[in-house]
């Protein structure tokens, strides 16, 4: 049975519904109870038994749940159905429409005290914020979801925490994003909480901030663990759609428990579709490793696969990250014109407050392309803009490399003192390969 309201609230509800229907206390009570008992129930002086409430609900023509909690019958199930509809809308790329649906659902869930549905709506609004680039709003929704989960087991809180990490990362707060990921992974693995979905979300989310901090060894290890944990998903969208439609028919037939089970399966599949977005990072990581080994054709293939997984209409910031790496591979393969075109597209989608690290990477590559074309003035402009963005984000590994590029350019154009300043700045940002300066790597799951 659902958790009831207090006796006084239920009493007022009984009295209101009885008056609406024009019934006397005797008519409501008969044949099982007395008018005096109904009077004490309406006055809130007695906590009616489930049997009594079922009797009263039957006489009033309402469901037990509506009488005991004030919620319309099957409300929670109908909200879950609409939540899966919103999830489907988000995964097809209509983030703004999905956000409007989630906001309405959140209001209804709060009105009727449906905690699980509130959390689902908050997580959905957070994901919409990530997709549209409204990182401040996204972070706020994820924090609210985490607070609402309260004392829930850590694996249950991971989706909210992962959303928070992603918002911090995309805002350029790399070190804090890594700290949150590593401390959570350590707590999960040392505590024996080896939930594959939770671990997959965290490891795949760790790849990008590790890479941007120059911790390539940890990024490679995270990608390897994520791919080992990844479920074998075969067109989950079709299966999820089927479960949604089945749930509708079950609701119409009053089979609430079965409808809930079907909706849970649909919601899980849509969640896995979002995991596929995370898995695009793993393909990007593979592409990066191939590029480092000089296998440029294989690198290009993996990165194009990552972009395909990040659907054209959504995940702009994720897509920008992969596109910059793809552009680097294309430049090295002699396709500089295509690379520059991709980079200009990336810069059109980003801003200093929204994807600063990726903007800096795009400017860095455009600087290298300009240098290749002997246009040193344009190259310097791009390097200086990239330097400003990276200093703000604290991307140490990229800063050191960029200062070397800028110093070399300044030295070749005869500005030795300026070149020395650039080199000194770069030395101050050097990091050891494979580290984040956050201490030992977190414990690993027993794969």
**Which pLDDT band holds residue 278 (cuts at 50, 70, 90)?**
low
Which residue did the predictor score with more confidence, 352 or 284? 284
- Tell me the H-state helices in 152-293: 154-170, 174-190, 196-212, 216-229, 236-252, 256-292
**Which pLDDT band holds residue 436 (cuts at 50, 70, 90)?**
very low
Q: What is the pLDDT of residue 437?
A: 44
Give the C-alpha separation, 111 to 118, whole Å.
10
Q: What is the mean pLDDT of residues 53-81?
A: 78
Q: What is the pLDDT of residues 414-429, one digit of tens each?
A: 888 888 888 887 776 5
Q: What is the pLDDT of residues 143-156, one digit of tens each?
A: 999 999 988 899 89
Q: What is the pLDDT of residues 147-202, one digit of tens each?
A: 999 888 998 999 899 999 989 888 878 888 988 999 999 998 888 877 777 887 78
Q: What is the pLDDT of residue 432?
A: 43
Indicate the average pLDDT of the chain. 80
Which residue did the predictor score with more confidence, 189 or 214? 189
Helix count and strand count (H, E) for the chain: 22, 0
Q: What is the pLDDT of residue 233?
A: 41
**Which pLDDT band holds residue 435 (cuts at 50, 70, 90)?**
very low
Residues 6+ apart with CB under 8 A from 375: none
Give the C-alpha separation, 277 to 263, whole Å.
22
Which residue did the predictor score with more confidence, 101 or 257? 101
* Main-chain dihedrals φ then ψ at residue 257, nearest 5 degrees: -60, -45
Q: Is the pLDDT of residue 441 over 80?
A: no
């Amino acid at each position: 049975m659902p958790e009831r309201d207090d006796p006084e609230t239920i009493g007022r509800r009984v009295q209101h519904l009885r008056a609406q229907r024009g019934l006397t206390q005797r008519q409501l009570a008969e044949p099982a109870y007395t008018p005096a008992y109904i009077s004490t129930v309406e006055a809130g002086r007695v906590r009616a038994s489930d049997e009594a409430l079922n009797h009263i609900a039957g006489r009033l023509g309402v469901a037990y749940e509506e009488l005991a909690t004030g919620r319309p019958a099957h409300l929670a199930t109908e909200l879950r159905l609409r939540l899966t509809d919103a999830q489907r809308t988000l995964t097809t790329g209509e983030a703004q429409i999905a956000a409007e649906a989630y906001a309405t659902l959140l209001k209804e869930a709060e009105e009727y005290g449906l905690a699980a549905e509130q959390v689902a709506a908050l997580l959905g609004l957070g994901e919409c914020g990530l997709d549209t680039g409204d990182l401040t709003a996204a972070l706020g929704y994820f924090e609210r979801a985490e607070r609402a989960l309260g004392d829930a087991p850590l694996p249950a809180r991971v989706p909210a925490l992962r959303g928070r990490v992603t918002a911090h990362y995309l805002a350029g707060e790399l070190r804090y994003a890594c700290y949150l990921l590593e401390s959570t992974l350590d707590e999960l693995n040392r505590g024996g909480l080896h939930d594959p979905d939770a671990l997959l979300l965290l490891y795949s989310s760790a790849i990008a901030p590790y890479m941007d901090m120059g911790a390539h060894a940890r990024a490679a290890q995270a990608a390897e663990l994520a791919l080992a944990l990844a479920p074998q998903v075969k067109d989950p969208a079709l299966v999820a759609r089927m479960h949604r439609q089945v749930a509708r028919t079950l609701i119409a037939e009053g089979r609430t428990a079965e409808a809930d089970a079907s909706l849970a399966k649909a919601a899980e599949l849509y969640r896995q579709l979002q995991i596929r977005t995370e898995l695009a990072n793993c393909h990007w990581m593979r592409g990066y490793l191939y590029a480092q080994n000089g296998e440029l054709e294989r690198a290009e293939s993996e990165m194009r696969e990552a972009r395909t997984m990040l659907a054209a209409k959504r995940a702009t910031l994720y897509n920008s990250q992969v596109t910059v790496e793809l552009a680097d591979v294309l430049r090295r393969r002699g396709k500089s014109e295509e690379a520059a075109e991709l980079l200009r597209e990336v810069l059109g989608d980003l801003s200093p407050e929204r994807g600063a690290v990726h903007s800096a990477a795009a400017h860095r590559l455009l600087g290298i392309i300009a240098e290749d074309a002997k246009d040193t003035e344009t190259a310097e402009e791009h390097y200086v803009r990239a330097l400003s963005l990276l200093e703000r984000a604290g991307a140490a590994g990229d800063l050191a490399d960029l200062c070397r590029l800028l110093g070399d350019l300044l030295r070749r154009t005869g500005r030795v003192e300026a070149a020395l300043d650039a080199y000194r700045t770069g030395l101050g940002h050097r990091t050891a390969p494979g580290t984040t300066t956050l201490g030992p790597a977190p414990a690993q799951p027993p794969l």
